[in-house]
Amino acid sequence: MDDIVKRLRQWVDRETIESDPAGVITAAADEIERLRLTDAERCAIAEASEFYIGTRTGVTLSGLLKRLG
């Protein structure tokens, strides 16, 4: 897949004209869905962040969970 973020930004900034706007939106939605963490993955990251509490790794993992909502 091409870089959907770049494609969307170019479209919004009117640097490109999309012949299939629905296709761009669908591609973006598919990419978001592909990247979304499962509950099990979130739990594993939370457990690892607790294990590494007070370390750079723990802070990084906690930040990742916060950023992902």
Q: Please indicate, yes or no, whether residues 46 and 62 belong to a single structural domain of this protein.
A: yes
Residue 60, token pair as written in the block: 């990084």
Q: Which carries the bigger pLDDT value, residue 34 or residue 69?
A: 34
Share of the chain above pLDDT 70, in %: 97
Q: Please indicate, yes or no, whether residues 43 and 62 belong to a single structural domain of this protein.
A: yes
Residue range of the domain that includes 62: 39-68
Q: Please indicate, yes or no, whether residues 43 and 61 belong to a single structural domain of this protein.
A: yes
Q: Please indicate, yes or no, whether residues 49 and 31 belong to a single structural domain of this protein.
A: no
Question: By the 8 A CB rule, do 18 and 24 touch?
Answer: yes
Q: Please indicate, yes or no, whether residues 28 and 47 belong to a single structural domain of this protein.
A: no
pLDDT over 90 at 54, yes or no: yes
> What does pLDDT average to over the chain?
89
Question: By the 8 A CB rule, do 33 and 52 touch?
Answer: no
The Cα 46–Cα 1 span in angstroms is 30
